[in-house]
Chains A and B, each alone.
Chain A
Amino acid sequence: MSLKDIIKPKFLSGNDRDACTCATRHLFNFSRMWGIAVFLTLLVALVPLISMTLIHYKMTQDAVESEVHNHTMLLVNNTWRSVSRFFDERKNELELVANDYTYEDLINPNKLANILINIRKSHDAFIDLGVINSSGIQVNYAGPYTLIDKDYSSQESFQNALKHGFYISDLILGFRDIPHVVFLMRCAMADGSFSLLRATLDIKPINEMLAEVDIRGSGDVFLVNNKGVLQTSSRYHGDIFDKVSQPFFDKVSQSLSDYSFEIQVVDCKNFKGEMIVVGYGNIPDTPFILMTVQQKTELMDRWQKTRVRLFWFLLVSITLIIMVVLGMGTYLVNKIYIADNARVRSLHKAEYSNRLASIGRLAAGVAHEINNPLAIINEKAGLIKDMFTYQDMYSKDKKLIALVDSIISSVERCGTITKRLLGFARHMEPSIQSMNLREVIEEVLSFMEKEAEYRSFTIELDIPDDIPEIKSDRGKVQQIFLNLVNNSFAAMQDGGRLSIVVRHEDKDYVSATVTDNGCGISDTDMKHIFEPFFSTKLKKGGTGLGLSITCDLVQEIGAKINLQSVVGCGTSFKIDLPINLDKERK
């Protein structure tokens, strides 16, 4: 038996169609039953599991995303504070200069140089310091360049400083030809006029500050102005003065158009279509926007691992559930299939037994009814014969006596048949009794002798005289031999040969071998020959129950049955009957 045969459910290979009538066939559709059971069980098991896993997936994803946003928010916020503080401190230092010194002091070159030295002590970001009069002409300058008398009146920074009192410019190259930021502070004088204190700051400290920000993997942090021009160097988005042309900047600039100072974190896509997390915020009193850009996949790295674990958990769970449901479904439907088959088999057996019993009762009734008129014919013929025999006037007419003898002989034949019928019917009821196997077999064959005669069968009996009587259920033994002989008759062509050989080779058993030279049974059919409803002659009126019931009867009387067959040569059934069924049962 191959592994496939072991695994393959019996109900898929079973001929359950034969086990039921058309009206109830749907009740025996085990494949459908199996399908429904497996489908419904999988449905109620998998739907909650998958739903819960998806909900858990979504909740965990949301939690991790929220954590990523919070982390980015914290990072942007801290960096924003540092940068803002830097600009704030520089502004305060200039305010202090503007408040502590008079215009006369500020236009004094030596004093201005000293002031520059002093404020550079607090932070060396200051490159130079200048004083611009109300006409926009730089009237004093302290620093490494020669910029006295430079006219700033036409510059936007000059105009903005006049308007707002304080102004910080975008990063520019200016007259110095180096990237710098200009601080302009309006200083009011006693006579109502004003001057502007102009300081230039190197952007390098800001670059250094941003370079120290702990940002993961391919993350980037930089300052841009509101036109998207980089104000500090960037790792991945260009150098100073390059324009950030990524699509996310449009989204950022739109949300910051109102110059709010709120830190924001948004999910965007870059040109490659990758998801990125952008954090940004305006630096107060400056045209700068602090911006962090991080790859979302890097930030969600922990989530990726969790997601893989979740996926494997789901996959393993589903696989296990499917295996268990398939296994249990197949096992249970198989059990139902086997139980149903046994039930149907019992019902058919009971029906078969009832039919046999009915036939027996009918035969007995017919025999009884026939017996009375037969007895009258017998006696009347007997009386005629007596008259011919005992009265001299008829005794010499031999022809009349021969006719009467013929009537009596025919009546005896009829009587023998009715006695056989009565005897057979009487043995339908189960009872253990001693019997001569030869008598039983001859009785069975007597029922078949006419068919054997018509089809020219040769029947050979080899039953030695020393075969002991067996103690068994006569009716069942009769049925067994009747079924086997019937089976052999069906298998043989006209002129076939049937032999029944009885031997006593085992002290507890008598063996009877019924051999025919019929069509034989193939190896494939031999595996199923004792299964109920299996028949090779279903279309010829076979029920598929004969050998199945024979097998059951053999077991019921504690006997054994063996089968040998060669296709085209014939079949031999050997039955080992226990000599004493009572002893065998004990």
Chain B
Amino acid sequence: MRLLLVDDEGELVSTIAERLSFRGIDADWAVSGEEALAKAETEHYDIAVLDVKMPKISGIQLKGMLEGKYPDMKFIFMTGHGSEDDFIAGSAKDLYLVKPIAIDTLVSKVEEIFKT
């Protein structure tokens, strides 16, 4: 199982990636939609954990792009806002986690979504 963490806060995603590695989950990270798309070109990712609000390409838009190219990829959204608009924008099947995220919650959600 391989994860791609995307958030404009590099400090956050790099730390989460490192913490996930302690738990046996191989995670890569990117700080923008463009970087995420570029990495997805070269590497295979099972799950993408996307921040909803990012400059240039939002998490919602990025999901659309990745989903078009990699139909098997699954998605989890992170949001620091938690407003209803964010939830309406995504599809009902998507999982949302509100920042700050408890690492155990993220791990359990990742495992859960990977199994489905």
Report how far A270 CA is from B100 CA in the complex, Å: 115
A375 touches B83 (CB 8 A): no
B83 touches A383 (CB 8 A): no
Q: Is A18 located at the chain interface by the 8 A CB criterion?
A: no
A383 touches B11 (CB 8 A): no
Interface residue tally for chain B (C-beta within 8 Å): 19
Query: Which chain B positions have C-beta within 8 A of A367?
Result: 80-82
Q: Which of B18, B22, B81, B101 contacts A422, CB < 8 Å?
A: B81
A375 touches B19 (CB 8 A): no
A368, A371, A379, A426: residue with the most chain B Cβ atoms closer than 10 Å = A379
**8 A Cβ contacts from B90-113 to A:** 98-103
Q: Is A415 located at the chain interface by the 8 A CB criterion?
A: yes
**8 A Cβ contacts from B46-86 to A:** 80-84
Q: A371-B80, A372-B9, A390-B22 are in contact. Are A382 and B103 (CB under 8 A)?
A: yes
B83 touches A426 (CB 8 A): yes
Q: Is B38 located at the chain interface by the 8 A CB criterion?
A: no
Q: Which of B15, B22, B80, B98 contacts A379, CB < 8 Å?
A: B15
User: In whole Å, how far is A386's beta carbon from the nearest beta carbon of chain B?
Assistant: 5
B22 touches A378 (CB 8 A): no
A415 touches B19 (CB 8 A): no
B99 touches A375 (CB 8 A): yes
Report how far A369 CA is from B80 CA in the complex, Å: 8
B99 touches A372 (CB 8 A): yes
A426 touches B16 (CB 8 A): no
A371 touches B19 (CB 8 A): no
Q: Is A181 located at the chain interface by the 8 A CB criterion?
A: no
B80 touches A368 (CB 8 A): yes
Query: Which chain A positions have C-beta within 8 A of B83?
Result: 364, 422, 425-426
Query: Which chain B positions have C-beta within 8 A of A374?
Result: 99-100
Q: Is A429 located at the chain interface by the 8 A CB criterion?
A: yes
Q: A371-B80, A426-B82 are in contact. Are A415 and B100 (CB under 8 A)?
A: yes
A374, A376, A389, A429: residue with the most chain B Cβ atoms closer than 10 Å = A376
User: In whole Å, how far is B26's beta carbon from the nearest beta carbon of chain A?
Assistant: 15
A375 touches B80 (CB 8 A): yes
Report how far A372 CA is from B101 CA in the complex, Å: 10
B15 touches A383 (CB 8 A): yes
Q: Assuming A386-B22, A422-B81, what are 13 further A-B pairs, CB within 8 angstroms?
A: A367-B80, A371-B100, A378-B100, A378-B101, A379-B12, A382-B15, A382-B103, A383-B18, A386-B18, A386-B103, A389-B22, A415-B100, A429-B84
Residues on A lying within 8 angstroms of B by beta carbon are: 364, 367-369, 371-372, 374-380, 382-383, 386-387, 389-390, 411-412, 415, 419, 422-423, 425-426, 429
Residues on B lying within 8 angstroms of A by beta carbon are: 9, 11-12, 15-16, 18-19, 22, 80-84, 98-103
Chain A to chain B contacts (Cβ below 8 Å), 21 pairs: A367-B81, A368-B82, A369-B80, A371-B98, A371-B100, A372-B9, A375-B80, A376-B9, A376-B11, A376-B15, A377-B100, A378-B100, A379-B12, A386-B19, A386-B22, A386-B103, A387-B22, A412-B100, A412-B102, A415-B99, A429-B84
